[in-house]
Amino acid sequence: MQWTLVVRAIVVLSLGATFLVTDDNRPLLGNLLATYWLAGAVLTLGWVHANRGRSGSRLALIGGLAGILAAVIGLTRFLIDDVVSADGAMALVGVSAVMIGGLRLAGALRDDPRPLERPLRRIILGGSEIALGVILIATDDVTPPMTTAAGVWAAVGGTIMLLDARAASEPTGQADAR
């Protein structure tokens, strides 16, 4: 089993549970999401570095850089609120989520050079990332529906990461890089 996927799955499942049960500490939830998004964006850039020239690597590079920028803006939003609004920071995270979800749907974020397989769980994960991104782009404030959408995305994503970790431990298994 790939332990990095297991650890990420546990973190994202915990994040999802926090989003779903907490409604009075929204700034902390924003920081948690930004921190997770930063880690995911760094992993995406690692995938880009290891897979230069592959289909989707340029878009993954843009998505990874947008994710890092969005996470940094999200984490420093109170310091730079005169320059970038909270709405702008959420929209940037949303754009990154749509890009990464689209790459996942296209099958670009994978390490295995064999012919593309699109298990239903990866389609669901890509779709949930796109849906979360659209909600973040369309939302002007951190609202209960937005935190519920983030919680559902995290629950779906964490479960799929656990399934991918299990599949990666099988001889023919392959897992998404991010």
pLDDT digits (tens, 9 = 90+) for 149-178: 888 888 888 898 888 778 777 765 454 545
171, part of any domain: no
Is this structure's pTM higher than 0.85? Answer: no
Sign of the torsion formed by the C-alpha atoms of 135, 141, 146 and 151: positive
Q: Is residue 113 part of a domain?
A: yes
Mean pLDDT of 65-81: 83
> How many other β-carbons are positioned within 10 Å of the β-carbon of residue 132?
24
Residue 178 lies in a domain: no
Residue 138 — pLDDT band, cuts 50, 70, 90? confident
Q: Is residue 128 part of a domain?
A: yes
Count of domains observed in the chain:
1
Structure-model confidence comparison of residues 100 and 127, the more confident one: 127
d(C-alpha 135, C-alpha 130), whole Å:
9
pLDDT above 60: residue 115: no
- Amino acid 130: pLDDT: 92
Whether the CB-CB separation of 16 and 161 falls below 8 Å is answered with: no
Neighbours of 79 (CB within 10 A): 9
DSSP 25: -
How far apart CA 105 and CA 115 sit, in angstroms, is: 15
Backbone φ, ψ for residue 110 (5° rounding):
-145, 155
Range of the domain at 49: 25-142
Q: Is residue 159 part of a domain?
A: no
Is residue 124 in some structural domain? yes
Does residue 154 sit within a domain? no
Question: Where would I find the H helices in the chain?
Answer: 3-21, 26-50, 57-75, 86-106, 120-138, 144-169
- The two three-digit tokens of residue 149, written as one number: 């959408």
| Cβ contact 18:48 at 8 Å | no
Highest mean pLDDT among 51-60, 105-114, 119-128: 119-128
Q: Count the neighbouring beta carbons within 10 Å of the beta carbon of residue 5.
A: 22
In a domain, 150, yes or no: no
